[in-house]
Structure 1
């Protein structure tokens, strides 16, 4: 059974403006440790790819916070949610910190998809219960 749906549309130009103002601190605030490594690798190769990666992760975390009904309040934090790619390339939600036991106690599973095009990044999250 679906317990929550969240979506977020992010203007990549807004993410770029924030990076220009705050520098790498912004990426460090939004991204978890594994995401930060990918972001830095992509940025080093092609800065636009790093920017798009950051924007899709930002959108996914916003969408996830809506799907679980908390918004950005404890135990939901930017760094407690990571969107990592499976070997197949499919994005997957990975939780940590206090959010992991909070989420697991409810018997939920999250599904995420992300995309970007020119100036926008979009994420869609569905949270379902595993119990019938």
Structure 2
């Protein structure tokens, strides 16, 4: 059963402007430690790729926060929600701390997709209640 659906479109130029104003502080606010490491690696090779990485993570976390119905209120925080990827490259939601506890206590699961183009990053998230298996 669907618990919630969220979508977000993010202007990459706005993320770039925020990064130019606030530097690494902006990235630290949005990204988990694992994401921050990936962001630094991508930014070192190609700065624009780093900006797009920030934009896709920002967008995906916004979509997730909408799907769970909390927006950016506790226990939902930028850093407790991580957008990881499976070996196949498929994006996945990885939760930490109180947000993970809140999510698991409701028996939820999430699917997320992200995409970016020159000026925009977009994400879509579906959160479902896990089906109860009958014996």
Structure 1 Cα separation of the partners of residues 80 and 131 of structure 2: 24
Structure 2 Cα separation of the partners of residues 73 and 131 of structure 1: 27
**TM-score under structure 1 normalisation?**
0.99
Q: Could you say what secondary structure the match of 1:87 adopts?
A: coil
Structure 1 Cα separation of the partners of residues 111 and 131 of structure 2: 16
Q: Deviations over 1:49-87 (max 9, x none)?
A: 111111000000000000000000000000000001111
Larger Rg, first or second structure (1 or 2): 2
> Structure 1: which 4+ aligned runs deviate by more than 2 Å?
none
Other-structure match for 1:86: 86
Q: Could you say what secondary structure the match of 2:104 adopts?
A: helix
Other-structure match for 1:28: 28
Other-structure match for 1:122: 122
Other-structure match for 2:65: 65
User: In angstroms, what is the RMSD of aligned CA positions?
Assistant: 0.6
Q: Unaligned 5+ residue runs, structure 2?
A: none
